[in-house]
Structure 1
Amino acid sequence: MKTILIDGLGLIGGSIALAIRKKWPDDRIVAVDVSPAVLEHAKRSGIIDEGSLQLNAVAADADVIVLSAPVGIIIDHIKTLAELSLKPEVIVTDVGSTKQEIVKHAQKLTEKKVIFIGGHPMAGWHKTTISAARADLFQSAYYFLIDDTLIDERHKAAARALQGLLSELDVKWLTVSASRHDRIVAQISHLPHILASGLVNMSQNEFQSSPLSLKLAAGGFKSITRIASSDPTMWTDILLSNRETLIDKINRFHQYLERVRQALAASDRESIRTFFEKAKVTRDNLNEQTGAHAPNFYDLFLDLPDRIGSLARVTRILENAKINLVNIHILEIREDVAGVLQLSFSNQEDRLLAKRELNRHGLPTIRGDQ
Structure 2
Amino acid sequence: MSKQSNPIEQTSSPTPLLNKVVIVGLGLIGGSLAAALKQRGACNEVIGIARRKETTLTALKMGIVDRASADIADFAGELGAGDVVFIAVPTLTVASVLKDLKAALGRDVVITDGASVKGSVRDDVIKLYGEFPEQVVLGHPIAGSEQSGVEASNPDLYVNHRVILTPMPENSVAAVALVGAMWEQVGAEVLAMDVDDHDLVLGATSHLPHVIAFSLVDTLAHDSHNQNIFRYAAGGFRDFTRIASSDAIMWRDIMLANKKSVLEAIDLFSTNLARLRTAIAEEDATTITGVFTRAKAARDRFTKMLMNQAYVKTMQDNQEKHIVYTVAPGGTVKGNIRVPGDKSISHRSIMLGSLAEGVTKIEGFLEGEDALATLQAFRDMGVVIEGPEHGSVTVNGVGLHGLEKPSGALYMGNSGTSMRLLSGILAGQKFATELTGDVSLSKRPMNRVANPLREMGAVVDTAEQGRPPLLINGGSKLKGIHYDMPMASAQVKSCLLLAGLYAEGETSVTEPAPTRDHTERMLRGFGYDVNREGNTIRVKPGGKLTATNIDIPADISSATFFLVAAAIAPGSDITLTHVGINPTRIGVINILRLMGANITLSNEREVGGEPVADIRLQYAPLKGIQIPEDQVPLAIDEFPALLVAAACAEGTTVLTGAEELRVKETDRIQAMADGLKNLGIQCEPTEDGIVVHGGQLTGGSVESCHDHRIAMSFTIAALRATGPVVVNNCANVSTSFPNFVDLAKEVGINLEVNIVN
- The equivalent of 1:137 in structure 2 is 157
Q: 1:159 to 1:5 in 2, by over 3 A?
A: same
Deviations 1:235-277 (A, max 9, x none): 1111100001111110100011111111122210111111111
- Inter-partner Cα distance in structure 1 for 2:198 and 2:263: 16
Q: TM-score, normalised by structure 1?
A: 0.73
Tell me the secondary structure at the aligned position of residue 27 of structure 1: strand
Is the radius of gyration larger for structure 1 or structure 2? Answer: 2
Map 1:261-340 onto structure 2 (within 5 A): 261-290=277-306, 292-294=308-310
Matched, 1:204 2:221: yes
Q: 1:113 to 1:255 in 2, by over 3 A?
A: closer
Look up the equivalent residue of 1:280 and give its one-letter code.
K
How far apart are residue 183 of structure 1 and its match? 0.8
Look up the equivalent residue of 1:214 and give its one-letter code.
F
Q: 1:209 to 1:26 in 2, by over 3 A?
A: closer
**Which structure 1 residue ranges, 5 or more long, are not aligned?**
296-370
Does the 8 Å CA contact 1:142/1:174 hold for their aligned counterparts? yes
How far apart are residue 291 of structure 1 and its match? 7.3
Deviations 1:260-309 (A, max 9, x none): 111122210111111111111222232333474339xxxxxxxxxxxxxx
- The equivalent of 1:94 in structure 2 is 113
Counterpart pick for 2:49 among 8, 21, 32: 32
Counterpart pick for 2:273 among 257, 264, 272: 257
Tell me the secondary structure at the aligned position of residue 115 of structure 2: coil
- The equivalent of 1:77 in structure 2 is 97
Look up the equivalent residue of 1:257 and give its one-letter code.
L
- The equivalent of 1:164 in structure 2 is 181
How far apart are residue 75 of structure 1 and its match? 1.7
Look up the equivalent residue of 1:53 and give its one-letter code.
A
Q: 1:242 to 1:26 in 2, by over 3 A?
A: closer
How far apart are residue 23 of structure 1 and its match? 2.9
Q: 1:163 to 1:214 in 2, by over 3 A?
A: closer
**Greater strand proportion:** 2
Deviations 1:16-42 (A, max 9, x none): 111221333661211111222221111
- Inter-partner Cα distance in structure 2 for 1:60 and 1:77: 17
Does the 8 Å CA contact 2:20/2:45 hold for their aligned counterparts? yes
Does the 8 Å CA contact 1:5/1:59 hold for their aligned counterparts? no
- The equivalent of 1:234 in structure 2 is 250
**Which structure 2 residue ranges, 5 or more long, are not aligned?**
1-17, 312-757
Look up the equivalent residue of 2:145 and give its one-letter code.
W
How far apart are residue 174 of structure 1 and its match? 1.2
Deviations 1:167-199 (A, max 9, x none): 222222111111111011111111001101111
Q: 1:146 to 1:213 in 2, by over 3 A?
A: closer
How far apart are residue 209 of structure 1 and its match? 5.5
- The equivalent of 2:379 in structure 1 is none
- The equivalent of 1:146 in structure 2 is 166
Does the 8 Å CA contact 1:123/1:142 hold for their aligned counterparts? yes
Does the 8 Å CA contact 2:37/2:43 hold for their aligned counterparts? no
- Inter-partner Cα distance in structure 2 for 1:105 and 1:60: 24
Q: TM-score, normalised by structure 2?
A: 0.37
- The equivalent of 1:215 in structure 2 is 231
Counterpart pick for 2:145 among 113, 117, 125: 125
- The equivalent of 1:186 in structure 2 is 203
Tell me the secondary structure at the aligned position of residue 2 of structure 1: strand
Q: 1:59 to 1:234 in 2, by over 3 A?
A: farther
Does the 8 Å CA contact 1:172/1:294 hold for their aligned counterparts? no
Look up the equivalent residue of 2:212 and give its one-letter code.
L
Between 1 and 2, higher relative CO (CA 8 Å, sep ≥ 6) is seen in: 1
**Deviating more after overlay: 56-65 vs 191-200:** 56-65
Deviations 1:297-349 (A, max 9, x none): xxxxxxxxxxxxxxxxxxxxxxxxxxxxxxxxxxxxxxxxxxxxxxxxxxxxx
Q: 1:38 to 1:277 in 2, by over 3 A?
A: same
- Inter-partner Cα distance in structure 1 for 2:43 and 2:141: 24
Tell me the secondary structure at the aligned position of residue 222 of structure 2: helix
- The equivalent of 1:338 in structure 2 is none
Q: 1:104 to 1:223 in 2, by over 3 A?
A: same
Does the 8 Å CA contact 1:120/1:143 hold for their aligned counterparts? yes
- Inter-partner Cα distance in structure 1 for 2:178 and 2:275: 50
Number of matched pairs: 290
**Deviating more after overlay: 163-172 vs 38-47:** 163-172
- Inter-partner Cα distance in structure 1 for 2:72 and 2:94: 11
Does the 8 Å CA contact 1:109/1:115 hold for their aligned counterparts? no
Q: 1:252 to 1:45 in 2, by over 3 A?
A: same
Look up the equivalent residue of 2:117 and give its one-letter code.
T
How far apart are residue 109 of structure 1 and its match? 4.1
Counterpart pick for 1:59 among 59, 66, 76: 76
Tell me the secondary structure at the aligned position of residue 134 of structure 1: coil
Look up the equivalent residue of 2:147 and give its one-letter code.
K
Q: 1:247 to 1:113 in 2, by over 3 A?
A: closer
- The equivalent of 2:263 in structure 1 is 247
Tell me the secondary structure at the aligned position of residue 261 of structure 1: helix
- Inter-partner Cα distance in structure 1 for 2:304 and 2:42: 38
**Deviating more after overlay: 53-62 vs 245-254:** 53-62
Tell me the secondary structure at the aligned position of residue 136 of structure 2: strand
**Deviating more after overlay: 104-113 vs 163-172:** 104-113
Does the 8 Å CA contact 2:27/2:149 hold for their aligned counterparts? yes
- Inter-partner Cα distance in structure 1 for 2:133 and 2:104: 11
Does the 8 Å CA contact 2:85/2:109 hold for their aligned counterparts? yes
Does the 8 Å CA contact 2:27/2:148 hold for their aligned counterparts? yes
Counterpart pick for 1:7 among 9, 24, 38: 24
